[in-house]
Structure 1
């Protein structure tokens, strides 16, 4: 799977697991809601810093956001 698509899938899965809207996640990660939407759809190629901010906002590690099994392992 393409790493950008994988990241987007996992961001969406962790966001939903935590009951956050895209707007809430964007505020926590200091991003625009439209950027979070683009990330989740796999149409943006985020920087390492952006991945780090998302991980902190979601309460997971950056590695979790790139884990192929994260969305299917019950997301802890």
Structure 2
């Protein structure tokens, strides 16, 4: 599994665990909902800054998002 696939899986799992829709997460992270969807489907590779933004909103750390 690639790091992008790992991030996508963790993003979806952690978002669902928090009970957030893609739209809610996007709003909290100041991102577009379609971008969140694309990240979860491995279409885009996020920058480290985006990973940090999302991790902060989800109450986790960057290393946890990537492992």
Q: Taking structure 1 as the reference length, what is the TM-score of the superposition? A: 0.86
Detail structure 1 runs of 4+ shifted over 3 Å in the superposition.
none
- The gaps in structure 2 that reach 5 residues or longer are none
In the alignment, does 2:6 pair up with 1:36?
Answer: no
**CA shift for structure 1 position 3:** 0.7
Residue correspondences, number: 67
Question: 2:9, 2:30 → 1: CA distance?
Answer: 20
Q: Look up the match of 1:24.
A: 24
User: Is the radius of gyration larger for structure 1 or structure 2?
Assistant: 1
Q: Which runs of 5+ in 1 are unaligned?
A: 68-76
Tell me how large the CA RMSD over aligned residues is: 0.5
TM-score for the superposition, normalised by structure 2: 0.97
Q: Which structure dedicates a bigger proportion of its chain to helix?
A: 2
